[in-house]
């Protein structure tokens, strides 16, 4: 009999699936009733937290993301909880000092996270070391915490198989517990996945997890080939929130491997009950327009232009605002050019926004880099880290003439900032975690703190109403 090697699944419905399909708008109250069932499946982990879930909780749902995490932790007694972490940018859009990274890792684990998936938008491993070290430190102290380093998958001359395997070795050396190949745009095609997983498996002993999106239509085939090549974990979403710009469906992958050495052993009846729970919510999202049927199809442009779906929709809305929707294809052609100028980085938050916005500027201004964004300048100065290829000297000379560029790890130049952040937001602080919410999204967090205070004061004045859950706003 063939050796049994059950593939493991990370369920994404509480993070990436709703981020990709409904702009991260699933509220905590939608999640909690199904947690008990999800906890019985035996998932490798449930992904439930990240930059967008944190931001959308505060900004749109008026929820404390820390509170959501604690509630999920209470419910998931047996299942590991996973989060996505943007390296030195934490869950935000700029590099932070190491003391903020340390504190965020510590509080994430203390409030319930088990596995931290850490990535950098330039794949500059120096930007991941502080978060890996912080996780390992807590693991030593508390016996909980797992540092997974994610490589942002992208295409380009520089991204050879030697590049990926040498990165895998370096990740092992830096003390990570596992590796993820993070394919945010669905660019990894099935036979390439075979080749890549086999190569990485021979380069490292660390477990390898594969993350992709269904956008280009190949994702479940990619998983099939990756599993045959030895990948340890695949990221899937329960069917009502699968496919399109989200992940392959959990039940489909479970069925695919049934009776093979890769059999997950998960109970399809239990998965069906979980799907039944989410299906009416999906219908509701379709009816309200929150879920646009457009994102459910196959978008082959993704493969042609190698642009993640989220980036395309941002670009469309930027062009609409400027009444310049006719420039869509000009901007699409400009994106790879800007990417080249900036050293051919992967396109993932925040590099995707930086490249996309600069491409829109370049086209609308009628002259390339006539105007450069603050972020483009920062990338050119080296403030986000090192890119795999050199940046264009011509563009450097045009955009930041005579300015000093840095080559060290960017955070080495950022002084500790926790004390300063805390003093800025002192009047709102009700828990230590509030300082971190403020650090990441200063304006949005303060708006939320004001809302929270108003709620608390009014609720106090109307104690009777709380019985019916009628909180006046
Ligand atoms: Mn993703």
**pLDDT for 93-144, tens place per residue?**
888 999 999 999 999 999 999 999 999 999 999 999 999 999 999 999 999 9
Confidence category of residue 361, pLDDT binned at 50, 70, 90: very high
Query: Residue 245 Cα, ligand 1 centroid: separation in angstroms?
Result: 9
Confidence category of residue 1, pLDDT binned at 50, 70, 90: low
Please tell me the predicted confidence (pLDDT) of residue 460. Answer: 57
Please tell me the predicted confidence (pLDDT) of residue 303. Answer: 84
Query: Residue 213 Cα, ligand 1 centroid: separation in angstroms?
Result: 6
Query: Residue 84 Cα, ligand 1 centroid: separation in angstroms?
Result: 9
Check whether the bond before 350 is cis (ω within 30° of 0).
yes
Question: Average of pLDDT values for 43-68?
Answer: 97
Please tell me the predicted confidence (pLDDT) of residue 459. Answer: 66
Taking the CA atoms of residue 213, residue 217, residue 220 and residue 225 in that order, the dihedral angle to the nearest 10 degrees is -100
465 has a pLDDT exceeding 80: no
Q: How many helices (H) and strands (E) does the chain have?
A: 21, 8
Please tell me the predicted confidence (pLDDT) of residue 307. Answer: 80
Query: Residue 258 Cα, ligand 1 centroid: separation in angstroms?
Result: 26
Query: Residue 54 Cα, ligand 1 centroid: separation in angstroms?
Result: 15
First-to-last C-alpha distance (Å) of the chain: 64
Query: Residue 305 Cα, ligand 1 centroid: separation in angstroms?
Result: 18
Query: Residue 184 Cα, ligand 1 centroid: separation in angstroms?
Result: 5
Least confident of 11-25, 193-207, 297-311, 387-401: 297-311
Query: Residue 242 Cα, ligand 1 centroid: separation in angstroms?
Result: 12
Query: Residue 326 Cα, ligand 1 centroid: separation in angstroms?
Result: 29
Query: Residue 32 Cα, ligand 1 centroid: separation in angstroms?
Result: 22
Burial annotation 356-393 (CB, 10 A radius, 16+ → b, else e):
bbbbbbbbbeeebbeebeebbebbbbbbbbbbbbebbe
Query: Residue 457 Cα, ligand 1 centroid: separation in angstroms?
Result: 39
| Coil vs helix vs strand at 385 | coil
More confident residue, 315 or 396: 396
Query: Residue 31 Cα, ligand 1 centroid: separation in angstroms?
Result: 19
Query: Residue 212 Cα, ligand 1 centroid: separation in angstroms?
Result: 6
Question: Average of pLDDT values for 65-85?
Answer: 98
Query: Residue 247 Cα, ligand 1 centroid: separation in angstroms?
Result: 8
Confidence category of residue 58, pLDDT binned at 50, 70, 90: very high
Please tell me the predicted confidence (pLDDT) of residue 97. Answer: 97
More confident residue, 229 or 319: 229
Helix locations, 117-237, DSSP H: 126-142, 161-173, 190-203, 219-228
Tell me how far apart the alpha carbons of residues 152 and 211 are, in angstroms, rounded to a whole number: 10
pLDDT tens-place string over residues 282-329? 999 999 999 988 889 898 888 888 887 667 777 888 898 999 999 999
Integer-rounded Cα Rg, in Å, for the chain is 22
Query: Residue 34 Cα, ligand 1 centroid: separation in angstroms?
Result: 22
Query: Residue 12 Cα, ligand 1 centroid: separation in angstroms?
Result: 9
Whole-number average pLDDT of the chain:
94
Q: Which residue is associated with the tokens 């200063």? A: 442
How far is residue 309 from each of residues 196, 288, 315, 437, measured CA to CA in Å?
23, 21, 10, 27
Nearest residue to 17 via CA among 312, 236, 184: 236
Q: Which residues surround ligand 1, an ion (CB under 5 A)?
A: 16, 184
pLDDT tens-place string over residues 187-212? 999 999 999 999 999 999 999 999 99
Tell me how far apart the alpha carbons of residues 198 and 175 are, in angstroms, rounded to a whole number: 22
Query: Residue 56 Cα, ligand 1 centroid: separation in angstroms?
Result: 16
Query: Residue 363 Cα, ligand 1 centroid: separation in angstroms?
Result: 28
Please tell me the predicted confidence (pLDDT) of residue 318. Answer: 85
| Coil vs helix vs strand at 119 | strand
Threshold 0.85, pTM exceeds: yes
Please tell me the predicted confidence (pLDDT) of residue 357. Answer: 94
Please tell me the predicted confidence (pLDDT) of residue 155. Answer: 93
Query: Residue 105 Cα, ligand 1 centroid: separation in angstroms?
Result: 20
Query: Residue 19 Cα, ligand 1 centroid: separation in angstroms?
Result: 9
Least confident of 70-79, 311-320, 423-432: 311-320
472 has a pLDDT exceeding 70: no
């Amino acid at each position: 009999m063939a050796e049994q090697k059950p593939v493991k699944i990370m369920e994404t419905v509480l993070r990436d699936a709703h981020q990709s399909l409904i702009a991260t708008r699933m509220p905590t109250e939608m999640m909690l009733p199904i947690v008990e069932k999800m906890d019985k499946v035996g998932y490798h982990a449930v992904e439930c937290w990240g930059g967008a879930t944190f931001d959308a909780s505060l900004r749109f749902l008026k929820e404390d993301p820390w509170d959501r995490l604690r509630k999920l932790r209470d419910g998931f007694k047996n299942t590991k909880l996973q989060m996505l972490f943007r390296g030195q940018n934490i869950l935000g859009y700029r590099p932070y000092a190491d003391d903020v990274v340390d504190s965020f890792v510590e509080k994430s684990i203390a409030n319930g996270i088990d596995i931290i998936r850490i990535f950098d938008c330039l794949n500059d491993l120096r930007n991941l070391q502080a978060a890996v070290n912080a996780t390992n430190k807590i693991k030593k102290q508390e016996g909980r915490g797992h540092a997974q380093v994610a490589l942002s998958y992208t295409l380009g001359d520089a991204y050879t198989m030697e590049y990926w395997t040498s990165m895998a070795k370096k990740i092992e050396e830096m003390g990570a517990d596992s590796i993820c190949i993070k394919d945010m745009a669905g660019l990894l095609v099935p036979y390439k996945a075979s080749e890549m997983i086999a190569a990485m498996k021979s380069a490292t002993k660390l477990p390898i997890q594969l993350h992709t999106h269904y956008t280009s239509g190949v994702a479940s085939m990619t998983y099939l080939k990756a599993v045959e090549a030895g990948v340890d974990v695949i990221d899937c979403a329960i069917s009502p929130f699968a496919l399109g710009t989200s992940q392959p469906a959990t039940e489909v992958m479970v069925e695919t491997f049934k009776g093979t050495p890769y059999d997950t052993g998960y109970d399809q009846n239990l998965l069906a009950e979980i799907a039944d729970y989410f299906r009416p919510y999906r219908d509701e999202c379709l009816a309200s327009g929150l879920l646009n049927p457009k994102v459910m199809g196959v978008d082959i442009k993704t493969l042609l232009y190698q642009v993640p779906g989220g980036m395309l929709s941002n670009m469309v809305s930027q062009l609409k605002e400027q009444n310049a929707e006719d420039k869509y294809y000009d901007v699409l052609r400009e994106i790879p050019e800007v990417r080249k100028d900036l050293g051919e980085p992967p396109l993932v938050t925040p590099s995707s926004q930086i490249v996309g916005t600069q491409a829109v500027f370049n086209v609308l201004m009628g002259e390339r880099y006539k105007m450069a964004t603050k972020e483009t300048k920062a990338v050119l100065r080296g403030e986000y880290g090192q890119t795999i290829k050199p940046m264009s000297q011509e563009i450097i000379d045009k955009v930041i003439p005579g300015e000093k560029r840095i080559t060290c790890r960017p955070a080495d130049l950022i002084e500790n900032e926790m004390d300063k952040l805390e003093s800025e937001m002192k009047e709102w602080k009700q828990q230590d975690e509030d300082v971190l919410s403020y650090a990441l999204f200063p304006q949005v967090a303060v708006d939320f703190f004001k809302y929270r205070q108003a709620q608390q004061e009014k609720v106090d004045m109307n104690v009777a109403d709380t019985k019916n859950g009628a909180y006046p706003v």
